Each structure stands twice: as structure tokens, then as C-alpha cells.
Chains A and B, each alone.
Chain A
Amino acid sequence: MAIASPHRAGAHRQGAHRQDARGDGLLAAAFIAPALFGFLVFLLWPTLRGIYLSFTRFNLLTPPEWVGLDNYVRMVNDPIFWDSLRVTVVYVVMNIGVQTVVALLIAVLMQRLTQSAFVRGIVLTPYLVSNVVTGIVFLWMLDTQLGIGNQILGALGFGHIAFFGSKTWAIPTIALVNVWRHVGYTALLLFAGLQAIPKDMYEAGRIDGAGEWRMFWRISMPLLRPILALVLIMTVIGSFQVFDTVAVTTAGGPANATNVLQYYIYGAAFGRFQFGYASAMSVALLIVLSVITIVQYRLTKAGQTDLG
């Protein structure tokens, strides 16, 4: 009895535990349900359907017609597709290159100089403005005739620059406009990564006589690597998907100079009702992004940390 009683009591407790676990499972499922619903309906299903549509001719108003690999053959032979891929890569290199360097600079300055929440707030402000508003405001500010940007250039004795209207300037301009909008957010992510680096590392560095420059390269950068890698992967994916700024400023022009892939896809689908071809190009973009992400992940050893 003396033994049986606690045993029974234990059995009872275990049973309650199982019941508990079942109840928690149900509760967990209930909490996951909205997100899961969103994932299935807005992500997984459209992706699968998109892949299916890429093998069809589809104008959205009549049923899709299976055409096999036709859309992919057409894509490989479409010079505009390759050109828009090239334009997108040029954009991503400029956008991410400048953005990462500037964001890193801001993050390090914030970490080493000030912890002020106000400064952090200011840095984040552009990110609160919508992409379309940003695009329109810059379109006006940089207008060749009326824009304040060109008025200032004129006052300084320079000629007017067609920031959005010339082949040379359009992509750099759009890249920098988007840097302006996203750099604060990126800087904050990096700043959070820098905060995770123990302060004594810097103290030790200072005792050993290292300057800020040396400490940046020897302490901050190596220890920030996993965060930087994550930020790079995220921003590169986002950058490849540039659309809204192009749509409101240049609409792909002049002469396709800013015809980034997403814009070309959009035009094929909603301008020319070629949803099948547009889906094929979207699948291509998905593949390109997956490959880039895997390569980046491997190269930057994003899954490991040097903070041991």
C-alpha cells in the first residue's frame, strides 16, 4: 500500500500531464491556425498554383491551357527577360552595396557613440514612409525641370540631370532612393547584432592598445558575421523584388533601362494578360533567389557564430 499509493498518485499525476499536453496541443494548434491559414492560403497555394500556371497559357478570364515547357523555352529565348535580369542584378549590387556599408557605419556609430533611443527613432523614420510615397516624393524632388534637386544643381553652376529620365542615372537613382528608405532599418538590425557583442571584448582590445579602426575589423566584424549574413540574405531577397519604386517613377523606362524583373513580370501579367509566361518568369526568379540564398548562407557561414 505504502508503495502502491505513491505509485497510484504518480500514475494519476502522469495521466493529468498527458491530458495537459493534449490540451496544450489543442491550444497551440488554435494559436498557430491563423498563421498556418495565412501560410497555406497566401503562400503555399499561390506558389504551387504559380508553378502549375507556368506550364500553361492563361489569361485569367478563360481556363488555363497546358503548353508544357513553352513558356520556359520562350523565356530562355527572350532578350528582354535576360536584359531585365541584368538590370535587376545591377540594381541589387548598387542598392545592397551602398546600403550595407552605410547601415554598418550608422550601426557602429550608434553603438560606439550613443545609445539614444531618439537617434534610433530618427534613423528608422524613412522606413515608416511607404515605398510609393517615397518614390513620388523623390520623383518630384529630382524632376529635371521643377525639382529642388536640379534647382540646387543649377544654382551651383551644374547642368540639370535627368535622374529618372536618363539611361545612365535611372538605376543608380532608384537604388539610392531605396537605400534612403531601408538603410535605417538595416542599421537597426546590425545595431542589435553589435549589442550582442560583449563589452569586455572592446575593453580588452583597448587595453591591448587597439584603436577603433582595428577593433572594428578584428572584433565587431567577425562577431557580427552571422547577423550581417542574415541581414544580407534578407535585404538581397528584398532588393531583387524591387517593384513599387520603379512603377511610380520610371515605369521601366527609358528604353527598358529600369525594366527590373518584377516590373517585367507585372507587365506581362497585368498589362498583356500573359499569366502563364509571367508565372514562368516568377518561378525563374524564385530559383535565382533560392540559389543566391543558399550560396550566401554557405559562403558567410551564417549558421555558425564565433562567440563561443
Chain B
Amino acid sequence: MATARTFRTPRAPRAFRTAVALGGAAALTLVAGCAPQGSSSASTQRTVSYWLWDANQLPAYKACAEDFEKKNPGLTIKISQVGWDDYWTKLTAAFISDTAPDVFTDHVSKFAQFADLGVLAPLDELPATKGIKNTDYQPGLGASWIGQDGHRYGAPKDWDTVALFYNKKMAKAAGISAKDLDSMTWNPRDGGTFEKTIAHLTVDRNGVRGDEPGFDKKHVRTYGLATNVDGIDNGQTQWSAFAASTGWQFTNKKVWGDHYNYDQAAFKNTIKWYYGLAKKGYLPPYEDYSDSNQPQTQLGSGKAAIAMHGSWMISTFAGLKGVDVGTALTPVGPSGHRATMMNGLADSISKHAKNKKGAEKWVAYLASNACQKTVGEHGIVFPATKAGTAVAAAAYQKDGIDTTAFTKPVADRTTFPFPITNYAADIQALMAPALEDIYANGASASEVLDRTNKQINFLFDQ
């Protein structure tokens, strides 16, 4: 013990110790201050960064990029694909840290906010993109991307509508023909032939159908209609086709409305009926939905007979193993017509794009018939130009997929647009829990929607 106590390790000279300590502190400071500064300006002038979220579309846009690079020697397109769930978070962070992509795929539900934040470049002011006209595209697609200031912030790239995907074998077993499915009617009182159809397609664990006596709604083997909670706030693939078929509209104006109509009787009755299907056993309960049990999984596993979904899912549904999937039009509503939400994506340019010249050229190419036809050939999405749409329809047909249910509403003009207003993120944050409350907790649709609509419209009155 005594030796241990008196023994001292030889001490390093003080100057040395101080130097080490200061060096350590300096190194830490340097590490903290050394964020990646981005590549050199010479290489950014050659590269155009481009973000998209749909993995299905990646090959099509890679093909477009290759063609573009051939036509524009010296320019390289760097495509990054980030799934929808992380896309917007990542994009927001990128805008804040000034690392945003030069060009990115944009959604109408987001662009108002981005335009408002001043992070988008007005395309009508850039030489390469100022020639983009609404008439180059399917009706309504171009107009959606004009901001309240009259500037264009997106170049239309594709469009989508919503229709029904159904299990052909189940329909046949239930004695329901493709024609029956294409001519369904709907009303919020008794659900019309649509409700009769999904009731008949619902089968409990004892094999009893939903419209037969003795149906056990607590133990359903196959639900008539698949559930989907993603995007519940705008109801694109859930309630919107029904609500709009009554003549109801989201807002007081077609675009840039400043008053929402979620408190109108037609809407409240639609929601009450729609989520009431879960109480009848024709629609799975809220709890059944999860990321691992999306509509395509429900149809693929035989848990559901019909799924209402968007045209961007055509190839996914067509590719389901062991299930022969057909498509059908949405039902005709009380207004005497069908209604399907038509939405389109566009490409936007970041205001502070590192390579703005390259970005505008790339966007002009993305918006052109040349690229849109290339995308169409892949048969994964409907390009925004008419020629591109025709190529896509032919490509789908070649794969044995009938897309009439998605294209007919466009030809018949029975579509309605995705609501474009300010405060989209706030509205989503209010509407999603409100509808979940009705669906999951059985809350009164009338009460919840009155209250929520008031909160939403309060945003516009501030």
C-alpha cells in the first residue's frame, strides 16, 4: 500500500499536456464546424439532382434521364428515390439546410406551402420552361400548378384517377359480373347497389355472405371493401368518390378556395354511411389497417374482395400473385353521375437550385412529349400529355391490363380535382384525427365534422 501511495507516474511536461488538451478542444470544434459543404461548383454545373418518391417509376425516369443526357452532353441527372413517408420530411430538411435537389416531384397538397415559403422557382419566368401551356396536357392538370400569385410552380408530369380493383374469382363465385360492377349506383341512405354488392361479397368464417341471414359480422373472412387509412384526410381512395358523386365540393371554389364544406349535410351523410360499413362488417375495422395490411395486401390475401385505389397502383394490383384482378368504375351517385378524384404530379424547381440552368432544361424535357411517351411505354403511370397517356394505355393493354375504369372518367369529364388551398398541412392535421375518431372510435360524424370544419375555416379567417 505504502509503495503504491508514494509511487507517481512520471508526469508529462505541462506544456505538452496543455497542447494536447487544446488540440483536443480544437479538433472537436473543427469536427462540429465541418459540415459537408457540397461538391465543387464545376461539378454542380454538370449535375442536376432530381428527387422522386415512387420506386415503380424510377426505371421510367432513368430512361428519360439517359435520353436527356444524350441530347444535352455535359449534363448528368442524378436521381434519388425516397419513399413517400420520408420524402417530405427529407425535402423540408433539405430546404432548411440549403441542400434541396435542383428538381423534385411535387404534389398539389404540398406545393401551396412551398410556394408560400418562397422555395419554388416560378417556371413561367425561366427561359426553358416559360413555354409550358395548360393546353399541352389533359384538362385541369396544368391549371392546378398555378399559384395564387399567377405563377406556374410545376410542370405537369402525370395524372391519376381512382377506381375499383376487384378479385375476379370472388365476383364470379358471388354471381356478380363485370358489367354489374361497372354499373353500380350509390346513395348515402341505403348505399344503393354498391352496398348490396359489397355486402354480397362479404363472407364470414362460416361461409355466410354479408346479405344472408346468420351473417357473423364479428368474424369476417373476406370483407366486401378493403380499408385504407393513408390519406384519410382527403379521402382520395376512400370517401371522396362517394362524397363528390352527391355534387358536394371540398371548398367554395375549384382552386384556391378559402372555405371548406366539411359541415355540409351531403358530406356528413357520406362519411356516416362510409364508416358505418365497418359496423355492418362489410369494411374492416380501423384496427385492421396497418402498413403491413394495405389494400393491395388485403386483396392479395383474400381478406377483401374490392379495393378502391388509384391508377398509380395498377401495376401493383395486376402483379398480385394468385389473384386475378379486374377493374371497375366508381358508382353513379345521387347527382346522376360518377365522380373520381383526378390528381396530377408535377416537377418543381427549387428557387435556390445549385444548377438552375440545367434544372430548367431537365424540367422542360420531363414535361415534353418525348419524355412522357418514354414514361408511358413503361406502363406504370399515365403521363400528363395526351400522347403520353395514349402510349401508356397501349402499354397497359399489351400487359393485358384494361385501364378503361381510370381513363373513361377523364374522357367523360366526371373527375374532380384534389383540393388546392392554403394551410394544407394544418387541415390534414385536423381532418385525419377527426375522421379516425369517427372510424376508430365511432364518434358522431355530425358533431366531429361541424367542430373540425369550424377549426379549419378559422385558419382562413385569421
Q: How far is the CA of A33 from the CA of B17 in the complex (A)?
A: 14
Select A30's contact among B21, B92, B93, beta carbons within 8 Å: B21
Chain B residue with Cβ nearest A23:
B14
Contact, CB under 8 Å: B436 / A34: no
B17: A residues at CB distance < 8 A: 27
Task: Give the contact-size bracket for chain A.
Answer: 35 or more
B18: A residues at CB distance < 8 A: 23, 26-27, 30
Q: How many residues of B contact A (CB 8 A)?
A: 37
Q: How far is the CA of A30 from the CA of B20 in the complex (A)?
A: 9
**Interface membership of A59, Cβ < 8 A:** yes
Closest Cβ–Cβ distance, residue B7 to chain A (whole Å): 21
**A/B pair count, beta carbons within 8 Å:** 97
Contact, CB under 8 Å: B14 / A253: no
Known: A23-B14, A37-B28, A271-B429. A145 touches B293 (CB 8 A): yes
Contact, CB under 8 Å: A143 / B292: yes
Contact, CB under 8 Å: A254 / B14: no
Known: A27-B14, A255-B433, A259-B433. A166 touches B25 (CB 8 A): no
Q: How far is the CA of A221 from the CA of B118 in the complex (A)?
A: 60
**Interface membership of B95, Cβ < 8 A:** yes
Contact, CB under 8 Å: B96 / A34: no
Q: Mark B80-119, 1 if CB is under 8 A from A, else 0.
A: 0000000001001101100000000000000001000111
**Interface membership of A165, Cβ < 8 A:** yes
Give residues of chain A (234-271) contacting chain B, Cβ–Cβ below 8 Å.
252-256, 259, 267, 270-271
Closest Cβ–Cβ distance, residue B226 to chain A (whole Å): 13
**Interface membership of A113, Cβ < 8 A:** no
**Interface membership of B34, Cβ < 8 A:** no
B22: A residues at CB distance < 8 A: 30, 33
B397: A residues at CB distance < 8 A: none
**Interface membership of B4, Cβ < 8 A:** no
Contact, CB under 8 Å: B286 / A254: yes
**Interface membership of B426, Cβ < 8 A:** yes
Q: Mark A24-60, 1 if CB is under 8 A from B, else 0.
A: 0011001101100100010000000000000000011
A259: B residues at CB distance < 8 A: 433
Closest Cβ–Cβ distance, residue B264 to chain A (whole Å): 22
**Interface membership of B29, Cβ < 8 A:** yes
A34: B residues at CB distance < 8 A: 24-25, 28-29
Q: Which of B113, B119, B429 has the most CB of A within 10 A?
A: B429
**Interface membership of B440, Cβ < 8 A:** yes
Interface of B is mostly: helix
Chain B residue with Cβ nearest A147:
B292
**Interface membership of B290, Cβ < 8 A:** yes
Q: How far is the CA of A246 from the CA of B21 in the complex (A)?
A: 41
Closest Cβ–Cβ distance, residue B275 to chain A (whole Å): 12
Select B25's contact among A37, A162, A164, A167, beta carbons within 8 Å: A37
Select B287's contact among A26, A37, A165, beta carbons within 8 Å: A165
A60: B residues at CB distance < 8 A: 96
B286: A residues at CB distance < 8 A: 162, 165-166, 254
**Interface membership of B289, Cβ < 8 A:** yes
Contact, CB under 8 Å: B32 / A59: no
**Interface membership of A4, Cβ < 8 A:** no
Select B29's contact among A37, A145, A167, beta carbons within 8 Å: A37
Contact, CB under 8 Å: A272 / B425: yes
B29: A residues at CB distance < 8 A: 34, 37
Q: How far is the CA of A33 from the CA of B18 in the complex (A)?
A: 12
A255: B residues at CB distance < 8 A: 433-434, 436-437, 440-441, 443
**Interface membership of B288, Cβ < 8 A:** yes
Known: A23-B14, A30-B22. A62 touches B32 (CB 8 A): no
Q: Which of A26, A61, A62 has the most CB of B within 10 A?
A: A61
**Interface membership of A144, Cβ < 8 A:** yes
Select B425's contact among A37, A146, A162, A271, beta carbons within 8 Å: A271
Going nearest first, the 9 A-B pairs with the smallest beta carbon separation are A162-B287, A30-B21, A255-B437, A255-B436, A165-B287, A33-B25, A256-B433, A254-B440, A272-B425
Residues of A participating in the B interface, judged by any CB pair closer than 8 Å? 23, 26-27, 30-31, 33-34, 37, 41, 59-62, 140, 143-146, 160, 162, 164-167, 252-256, 259, 267, 270-273
16 A-B contacts (beta carbon < 8 Å)? A26-B18, A27-B17, A30-B18, A30-B25, A31-B21, A37-B28, A61-B95, A143-B290, A144-B293, A146-B293, A162-B287, A165-B286, A167-B441, A253-B436, A259-B433, A272-B425
Known A-B contacts: A27-B18, A271-B429, A273-B425. Give 20 more (CB < 8 A): A23-B14, A27-B14, A30-B21, A33-B21, A37-B25, A37-B28, A59-B117, A61-B96, A61-B119, A143-B290, A144-B293, A162-B286, A162-B287, A165-B289, A166-B287, A252-B433, A253-B433, A254-B441, A255-B436, A256-B433
